Amino acid sequence: MEMINEGMQQAQENLADLKKRGRAAIGGDALAFMDTLLSPEEIAQSDLRVAIIGELIKARQEKGISQKKLEELSGVKQPVIARMEKGYTSPQIDTLLKVLAPLGKTLAVVPLNGAK
């Protein structure tokens, strides 16, 4: 349950960051609707995906790298990057790692708070 709360908190922070920067969230209006259809665990998983992709977009923009340039650096085709960023696809872990590496980012497996 702690992971769910952390994922939701991170997703809310990312959504607030997007709003602050004047950007629309992926599926912005759909978030309230999702609450009626999905379980808390499914919502947390979705929020975590949004948070991860939000961090990818933020890192790419902070480095001033276009999707096309990221294609050159990562070997992942620009249309695939665009679909990931728009939330149209759920990327494979290896694809996500390829895209994150040139941005100086990676994924990490860390213990949950309170987990042994």
The pLDDT tens digits for 45-80 are 888 888 899 999 999 999 999 999 999 999 999 999
Residue in the structure block whose two tokens are 């708070």: 113
Q: What is the pLDDT of residues 8-40, one digit of tens each?
A: 677 777 777 777 777 665 555 555 555 667 788
Closest CA to 47 of 20, 80, 87: 87
Secondary structure (3-state) at 30: helix
**What is this structure's pTM?**
0.64
Structural contact between residues 77 and 95, judged by C-beta atoms closer than 8 angstroms: no
- Cα–Cα distance list, 50 to 47, 94, 115 (Å): 5, 18, 24
Give the per-residue pLDDT at 60.
95
Closest CA to 84 of 67, 103, 101, 105: 67
109 CB contacts (<8 Å, ≥6 apart)?
Answer: none
Tokens read off for 8: 């939701």
Q: What is the pLDDT of residues 86-116, one digit of tens each?
A: 989 889 999 999 999 999 999 988 887 766 6
